[in-house]
Structure 1
């Protein structure tokens, strides 16, 4: 059980005149509701008039079109609840009848979209309230998005997750293309959600909040952490329509939380991506980038600009370079994609012009003097093969009567008859490094 709150139409009379009943306060929001309630008994800002039926909006969020280009442009109109008898119940029935083109049941299903866009439940409306109604229904939910359908600055990013506190909404992009969007509840003014650039870290399907009171468990589903040091997550929880209301985490409806849990990439850790113990391992790569933009709205979120003739959906301006947004936590990649806690990437070789040669590496010198004997290259001690005797030739035998061993210029190598087999080689060559003047003069040869 996810503990989803269902709204009853009979609570409409108490929507804006009194504080919400204790049963309608989400776990973890009792203290905020008591502190925000004034002495006159007015409703707290975080209540906003009830909670979203997360089961009813599931079908609206999962509708998908063939492509973004196939989605039509949606416009909006005003609708004022009114009835001659001043009966709000009858005024809502007329509204359902008009939305469904004569079918009340169909109008009630379409009214769920109106509630999501207005951040207000029809059961908590009164006579004379004005609603914003789209001109097109039963479309892909991306057709009603305040985020741009295409984000050129995120074209090079495989995935990007954005949360905007001003309109209380999130968006997921793949290579700059809007994949999905939805509504959120960020941290209250006393416990705001930090702004900046983050990354998804570890995730956990079910978790009990560490801030739970002793007599109650605040159960969270589809938890995905994006700031480990401060314990900030996105997760499923009860969704008030009034906007910022949490202790810093970001609340989602169940369908969106489960989709994000399976869509986003966690960090790469030697201890795996599941649970906070993942942070104890060696982090080798960050997860999907996360941007938290904007500031908390003054009151309930207002996604529309109310013009005189018709309302206009506010289109959000996103940063031209998402990775240039200042980092909100220490473990974030730089603007060029390099992370401070990861080893730096090897530098690529420089590009050479036509005809240019690679620079040669300078010779490495030791700490000793460059002119010392130890720093000079050593000459190889391996003996070079000597050429064969000029008289005997390469065959090893003398072309005439043999090779006399006593002949000057040959030395016998084996104790064999010089006339049967020549085993001589040329004499060792003298070093060419020594100059001719340094050679000892040869003694004159005398006859005996």
Structure 2
């Protein structure tokens, strides 16, 4: 496994968040910026204040609610210093929603309404989504190829699949194991797959799309398990970021989620493997 100084997603935490039940409100979630502050200048005491605030006085509840920052691509609060901040839901009731409620993708994709299964990988936000007949079924974080070895954009179709595979990009003496490997570009060896290290900052891969295990397993099953027949449409779009992706921008009333725009007709997107 390659070493990295970047922060990585906690896959166990993400699995529990991505697979939990919950409601999806009819109105967009309001977010706010929580600052790490304490009169003493001590970051540990500042974090305790944040736990108390998020948990309405219950520190353990506050810690539990703070995990939603993982799905929003926010930094680990233990790495934050005095004066820094983290973006989280503004209302207590919005910490326990369905993961679909926090998606940067629209809930409906009219252009894909006639397509049984379609997958989108957005390079700009480093996220992915699955749509069934135009309805958002699941989404999650991703890590694509870095700027020097970017994931190619375009329209693809899932080709061969392999449950367990060793990466050919590993340096001598190292073994990089991938699970739930779903190939979309055979000549280039571009796959969607599980990987143990999925950085939450800039992408650092060699062209493939890294996914947390819970997502890769779900997508593997949803798109046909160990079938070898070509099938699911995959759209790769956007621009590879060289720094941590921008997930929120400041709006007139506070932080606003950066939303992904989808192509009107996915089948009109030029093929990426030609």
Shorter chain as normaliser: what TM range?
Answer: over 0.9
Task: Classify the secondary structure of the residue corresponding to 1:142.
Answer: helix
Q: 2:18 aligns with which of 61, 84, 90?
A: 61
2:107 is matched with 149
Q: Is the 8 A contact 2:117 2:223 kept in 1?
A: yes
2:168 is matched with 210
Q: Is the 8 A contact 1:192 1:247 kept in 2?
A: yes
How far does residue 65 in structure 1 lie from its aligned partner after superposition? 4.2
Q: Distance in 2 between matches of 1:75 and 1:231?
A: 41
Larger Rg: 1
Q: Is the 8 A contact 1:266 1:288 kept in 2?
A: no
- 1:420-435 counterparts in 2 under 5 A? none
1:410 is matched with none
Q: Is the 8 A contact 2:161 2:181 kept in 1?
A: yes
Q: Distance in 2 between matches of 1:116 and 1:85?
A: 31
Q: Which has the higher contact order (CA 8 A, sep 6+)?
A: 2
Task: Classify the secondary structure of the residue corresponding to 2:56.
Answer: coil
Q: 2:180 aligns with which of 195, 217, 222?
A: 222
Q: 1:320 aligns with which of 243, 260, 264?
A: 264
How far does residue 213 in structure 1 lie from its aligned partner after superposition? 2.2
How far does residue 151 in structure 1 lie from its aligned partner after superposition? 0.6
Which 4+ runs in 1 deviate beyond 3 A?
A: none
Could you state the TM-score of these two structures normalised by the residue count of structure 2?
0.92
2:33 is matched with 78
Task: Classify the secondary structure of the residue corresponding to 1:188.
Answer: coil
- Structure 1 residues 112, 163: CA separation in 2 closer, same or farther (over 3 Å shift)? same
**Residue 236 of structure 2 is aligned to residue 289 of structure 1:** no
Q: Is the 8 A contact 1:266 1:287 kept in 2?
A: no
2:121 is matched with 163
Unaligned 5+ runs, structure 2: none
Q: Is the 8 A contact 2:89 2:95 kept in 1?
A: yes
1:122 is matched with 77
- 1:339-378 counterparts in 2 under 5 A? none
How far does residue 305 in structure 1 lie from its aligned partner after superposition? 1.2
**Residue 148 of structure 2 is aligned to residue 182 of structure 1:** no
User: Which of the two has greater strand per residue?
Assistant: 2
**What are the Cα deviations for residues 379-406 of structure 1, in whole angstroms up to 9, with x where unaligned?**
xxxxxxxxxxxxxxxxxxxxxxxxxxxx
How far does residue 106 in structure 1 lie from its aligned partner after superposition? 1.8
- 1:222-301 counterparts in 2 under 5 A? 222-237=180-195, 238-265=197-224, 273=228, 286-301=230-245
Task: Classify the secondary structure of the residue corresponding to 1:182.
Answer: strand
How far does residue 103 in structure 1 lie from its aligned partner after superposition? 1.8
RMSD: 1.9
Q: Distance in 2 between matches of 1:325 and 1:122?
A: 40
